[in-house]
Amino acid sequence: MSNPATPPAVGVLDERAPLTFPPGFLWGAATAAYQIEGAAAEGGRTPSIWDTFSRTEGRTVAGHTGDVACDHYHRLSDDVRLMAELGLKSYRFSVSWPRVQPGGSGPANAEGLDFYRRLVDELLANGIEPWLTLYHWDLPQELEDAGGWPARDTAARFADYSQLMVDALGDRVKYWTTLNEPWCSAFLGYGSGVHAPGRSDGADAVRAGHHLMLGHGLAVQALRAARPEAQLGVTVNLYPVTPATDSPDDRDAARRIDGLANRFFLDPLLRGQYPGDLVADLAKVTDFGHVRDGDLATIATPLDLVGVNYYSRHVVAAPVPGAKPEPYWRAPSCWPGSEDVRFVTRGVPVTDMNWEIDAPGLVETLRRVHEEYTDLPLYVTENGSAFVDAVIDGKVDDVDRLAYFDAHLRAAHEAIGAGVPLRGYFAWSLLDNFEWAWGYTKRFGMIYVDYDSQTRIPKSSARWYAEVIRRNGLAAQ
């Protein structure tokens, strides 16, 4: 029984208070080229691995492709107007490599560059800071045919492409991230094969991860030399990894998955080394013979910021012989050498992706990067949720998505209070879009897209986010 004279716990009061973010906090929304642009064969664009993959039977739900997507290529001005109505301070988009450098080598395609020049100019004209991601998974098919990311030369090709982009847009784009989520490119693309190019070989996945990071380092050097004033970074997708119980075996399972999911990237990028325990865990998969002298120094080329994408947590348990493997991205084959670790669910609420909703995990993740790895400014470059939306009387009242954003922004604020130099937050996503292997069946947007008519309807979460941006924080609850 509670004593009526007892004041409420401090935490409760804090939750109800309005939360203000630091001045200049960069409020944004994110998208990616293949997920929204469409116009797959226009303006000189050639196929990427995602075109090939999505056109291959059985690879995406209902055979969906990005051929048309949100038709953003033809609706750029309307979409920028929607961003301006939201009051976005920044827009994070990615460049389609085969649109600007068809085939992945040789000269730039002027028509492709013009599209991004127009985008950037319209953003700037609307007071929206462009944030450019160079690689959000659409490798030119020709480079995959030449070996893809497991081949070392792809890193050099990526640096050339980055040079071409900074030559074209370096005068007007300040924020650049090289890679988006190299874990997905490497371990879903070449490990489990649920993402393009759909290959499945543990050693190739590890090599791909290394060459992605090498390409990142080379690109940072090229960008830095061209534009010393630019803000350069990389985006990694991180997960807190929690053992299901405190048993030594479960804790070891958590150590292994943390190694593959998080430290595989954080340690080389921010410390210039692979963790010893990870190398040992992978001993049966690879001898790391693909790592050459000097690679790790290149990979650890100094940055200006780190982008963190956060969606959920992994809870794992020690292997049990004969246990049934988890489907999709937790499929055993995206964890080479640790295939038998079990991913467990806790029965907490999940999104339409079946991802557990875990806002405190964002605090944990940001604090970890700051406290264990770097003093650099951090940005949440993606955070969001898929839910089933219904259009009723021309409106979409996405209360679940709104609550997800609200909880995670409260977590972001808590992380700032704990000393994390968090400088911005990008909602995933501006628009409903092509959700990779799930096609158009999962909606992450703050703006609803009717794919038949290409009508856009800002959802309740969009209106709410506009208010958050206007206040630079959250209203009292």
Which sequence positions are flagged as catalytic?
Answer: 181, 382
Cβ closest to ligand FCB, residue 21 vs residue 387? 387
Cβ closest to ligand FCB, residue 25 vs residue 434? 434
Q: Out of 404, 440, 444, 464, which residue is the one contacting ligand FCB (CB under 6 A)?
A: 444
Q: Is 408 annotated as a binding residue?
A: no
Cβ closest to ligand FCB, residue 93 vs residue 436? 436
Strand arrangement, sheet containing 241-243: 241-243, 314-317, 342-343
DSSP 231-273: EEEEEEE---EEESSSSHHHHHHHHHHHIIIIIHHHHHHHHSS
Q: Is 402 in the site for ligand FCB (CB under 6 A)?
A: no
Q: Is 428 annotated as a binding residue?
A: yes
Cβ 65 to ligand FCB shortest distance, Å: 15
Q: Say which amino acid occupies 432.
A: D
Residues 239, 181: Cα–Cα separation, whole Å: 12
Q: Is 180 in the site for ligand FCB (CB under 6 A)?
A: yes
- Choose the stretch contacting ligand FCB; rule: CB under 6 A; options: 42-50, 180-188, 276-284, 295-303: 180-188
Q: Taking Cα atoms as reference points, which of 330, 310, 284 lies closest to residue 188? A: 330
The H or E element containing residue 129 is strand 129-135
Cβ closest to ligand FCB, residue 21 vs residue 91? 91
Residues from 305 through 324 that contact ligand FCB (CB under 6 A): 309
Q: Is 435 in the site for ligand FCB (CB under 6 A)?
A: yes
Cβ 207 to ligand FCB shortest distance, Å: 21
Q: Out of 71, 122, 181, 389, which residue is the one contacting ligand FCB (CB under 6 A)?
A: 181
Q: Is 436 annotated as a binding residue?
A: yes
The H or E element containing residue 209 is helix 202-226
Cβ 417 to ligand FCB shortest distance, Å: 27
Q: Taking Cα atoms as reference points, which of 32, 52, 187 lies closest to residue 95? A: 32
Beta bridge partners of 180: 235
Q: Is 436 in the site for ligand FCB (CB under 6 A)?
A: yes
Q: Taking Cα atoms as reference points, which of 131, 141, 42 lies closest to residue 95? A: 131
Cβ closest to ligand FCB, residue 25 vs residue 137? 137
Cβ 407 to ligand FCB shortest distance, Å: 17
Q: Is 435 annotated as a binding residue?
A: yes
Cβ closest to ligand FCB, residue 35 vs residue 154? 35
SS3 letters across 297-343:
HHHCCCCCEEEEECCCCEEEECCCCCCCCCCHHHCHHHCCCCCCCEE
Q: Is 184 in the site for ligand FCB (CB under 6 A)?
A: yes
Cβ 136 to ligand FCB shortest distance, Å: 6
Binding-site size for ligand FCB (CB under 6 A) equals: 12
Cβ 83 to ligand FCB shortest distance, Å: 18
Q: Is 326 annotated as a binding residue?
A: no
Q: Is 212 in the site for ligand FCB (CB under 6 A)?
A: no
The H or E element containing residue 78 is helix 76-86
Q: Taking Cα atoms as reference points, which of 410, 311, 317, 319 lies closest to residue 356? A: 311
Q: Is 166 in the site for ligand FCB (CB under 6 A)?
A: no
Q: What is the DSSP letter of 48?
A: B
Neighbours of 84 (CB within 10 A): 16
Q: Out of 154, 237, 286, 383, which residue is the one contacting ligand FCB (CB under 6 A)?
A: 237
Q: Is 309 annotated as a binding residue?
A: no
Q: Is 32 in the site for ligand FCB (CB under 6 A)?
A: yes
Q: Say which amino acid occupies 99.
A: R
Cβ 285 to ligand FCB shortest distance, Å: 23
In the numeric block, which tokens belong to residue 468?
């958050």
Q: What is the tally of helices (H) and strands (E) in the chain?
A: 17, 15
Pairing assessment for the beta strands 422-428 and 378-382 based on DSSP bridges: parallel
Residues 379, 170: Cα–Cα separation, whole Å: 21
Cβ closest to ligand FCB, residue 101 vs residue 309? 309
Cβ closest to ligand FCB, residue 92 vs residue 224? 92
Distance of CA 202 to the CA centre of its chain: 22
Residues 418, 412: Cα–Cα separation, whole Å: 10
Q: Is 91 in the site for ligand FCB (CB under 6 A)?
A: no
Cβ 429 to ligand FCB shortest distance, Å: 7
Distance of CA 142 to the CA centre of its chain: 24
Residues 460, 474: Cα–Cα separation, whole Å: 15
Neighbours of 127 (CB within 10 A): 10
Q: Is 65 in the site for ligand FCB (CB under 6 A)?
A: no
CA-CA-CA-CA dihedral for 163, 168, 173, 179, to nearest 10: -40
Q: Is 116 annotated as a binding residue?
A: no
Q: Is 382 in the site for ligand FCB (CB under 6 A)?
A: yes
Annotated binding site: 35, 136, 180, 311, 428, 435-436
Annotated binding site for substrate: 35, 136, 180, 311, 428, 435-436
Which residues here bind ligand FCB, judged by CB under 6 A? 32, 35, 180-181, 184, 237, 309, 382, 428, 435-436, 444
